[in-house]
Amino acid sequence: MKSVQQTLKKALEITSGCTEPAAIAYCASFAGKYLDEPVEEILLTIDQRTYKNAFAAGIPHAGDRKGTEWALVLGFVTASPEKRLSLFTQLTPELLTQADTLHDKKSITVTLKDMEGLLIDIQAKGATHSVHSVLKGGHTRVHHLSKNGVDIQLGDLIDRATDESYFTFSPDCFEVQNWPDMIESLYNDAEMQELVRQGIAYNMAAALHGQQYIPQLGNDAEHLVMGAIYSRMNGDPIPVMSCAGSGNKGLTSFIPVVTFSRNKQRGEEAEIKAVLVAVLLTTLITSRFGEVSSVCGAQYAAGAGIIGGILYLRDEMHLFEGAYNNFVSATSGGFCDGAKGSCSMRGSTAVSGALNAIQHAEAGFIVSARDGFLGQTFLETLDNLQKYNPLIARFELETIKILKDK
């Protein structure tokens, strides 16, 4: 099992645009790089959750070009897998013209696969050559890469897929009393500290950028999160630090914690440590529901990150389990209907719900662990919530059908 430091470093990655279109483009960029001749046919097999998330998402630097097929085409012509999830930053007018020509050929066949976890499987065929690239289990996890049936050696910048989940934690990581020591250890890792510092800079810049859509009211973190998410889903060319496979989770978990810290003038060390709490909790919950999930990650995972980060700054971590139960009592059942502009409202709900949950816990109101799916501990509540996963997953096909009928 990876160390917590290794796991959280993998959980933080800069991305340009919505994560799922970027992952599709990343997978396609291998085919574009290695095919070495005009492409005649592209076969895409993709899990239904990733397809759903990419369906209506804007793409940076791509104008009105949106969705799964455009992400694939743009990644193919970019042919820059070394840029990973930031490859849309390479788009130029010339590449957009190439993409338009390829898209007009109608040479892409898409097959949806009902399965757990992420799958992006692309076969690009020319007159004499073919390239096969597969991402599985995570947005940058290369499961297979070959040309004409011969494996292509992967470089140092490529994540190799293994049977082990990216986000794997031992049970003691879910125990509140262990978090302060974990945060100190994480903070003392210079690479981790710099990664979080960089993420704060990117995500707060995105928050300021988003005010053109949803103006901030005073020091209102809720509207900052809404604007940042909306601009990202709109395809604005703003880089963000994603968390646990999602830019929206990164924005939702970072911005309220940083805003609270700065309003209270807590200083950089406390701010970084509080964001580390938010990242830890967001990733812990993602480890139970998956990087690409049927539930809303901004609510389920990042909302808990907000609670943990702010309680850390208030020296009230002992209230976390009660505050979390307050929060999840109000927000559970929020299924994911794809990545799009209205995710800004999901982020808004996560922020307001987290702040209300804290306020009620501080006032002495904590819902009973005997109620519904709630547990006596954070881990027990997650165990119970996870049991609903197969049921909520049934919503996926209906959501895709609704989207296609629009």
- The mean pLDDT of 355-376, rounded to a whole number, is 96
- For 101-110, 176-185, 394-403, which range has the lowest pLDDT when averaged over its residues? 394-403
Q: What is the CA radius of gyration of the chain?
A: 21
Give the span between the Cα atoms of 256 and 13, in whole angstroms.
Answer: 19
CB of 243 closer than 8 Å to CB of 350: no
Residue 159 has a pLDDT of: 60
Give me the count of residues in the chain: 406
What are the tokens at 157?
């910048």
Q: What is the pTM of this model?
A: 0.89
Widest Cα–Cα separation across the chain: 70
Q: Burial letters for 210-241: b for 16+ Cβ neighbours within 10 Å, e otherwise?
A: beebbebeeebbbbbbbbbbbbbbbbbbbbbb
Q: Residue 244 — left, alpha, or beta (φ > 0 → left; ψ -120 to 50 → alpha)?
A: left
Residue 339 has a pLDDT of: 87
Residue 163 has a pLDDT of: 43
pLDDT per residue over 105-152, tens digit each? 999 999 999 888 899 999 999 999 999 999 998 888 899 999 999 999
Residue 403 has a pLDDT of: 86
- The mean pLDDT of 162-182, rounded to a whole number, is 82
Give the span between the Cα atoms of 205 and 67, in whole angstroms.
Answer: 25
Q: Do the strands 150-151 and 159-160 form a parallel or antiparallel pair, or are they unpaired?
A: unpaired
Q: How confident is the model at residue 335 (pLDDT cuts 50, 70, 90)?
A: confident
pLDDT per residue over 199-228, tens digit each? 999 999 999 999 999 877 766 899 999 999
Residue 75 has a pLDDT of: 97
- For 52-61, 184-193, 211-220, 253-262, which range has the lowest pLDDT when averaged over its residues? 211-220
Residue 87 has a pLDDT of: 92
Q: CA of 43: how far to CAs of 7, 20, 201, 346, in Å?
A: 32, 18, 39, 33
326 or 406, greater pLDDT: 326
Residue 218 has a pLDDT of: 64
397 or 43, greater pLDDT: 43
Residue 240 has a pLDDT of: 95
Counts of helices then strands in the chain (DSSP H, E): 17, 9
- The mean pLDDT of 48-52, rounded to a whole number, is 92
Instruction: Look at the alpha carbons of 338, 342, 344, 345 in this order and tell me if their dihedral is positive or negative.
Output: negative
Judged against a pLDDT cut of 60, whether residue 90 lies above it is answered with yes
Q: Which domains does the chain have, with CATH numbers?
A: 16-151 (3.30.1330), 165-405 (1.10.4100)
- What average pLDDT does the structure give for the chain? 92
Give the span between the Cα atoms of 369 and 355, in whole angstroms.
Answer: 20
Q: Which residues contact 291 (CB under 8 A, 6 or more apart)?
A: 117, 118, 137, 138, 139, 166, 167, 244, 245, 246
Neighbours of 95 (CB within 10 A): 18
Residue 63 buriedness (CB in 10 A; 0-12 / 13-18 / 19+): exposed
Q: How confident is the model at residue 393 (pLDDT cuts 50, 70, 90)?
A: confident
Q: 3-state class of 160 per DSSP?
A: strand
| Interhelix angle 4-11/190-209, nearest 10 degrees | 30
What are the tokens at 91?
């788009």
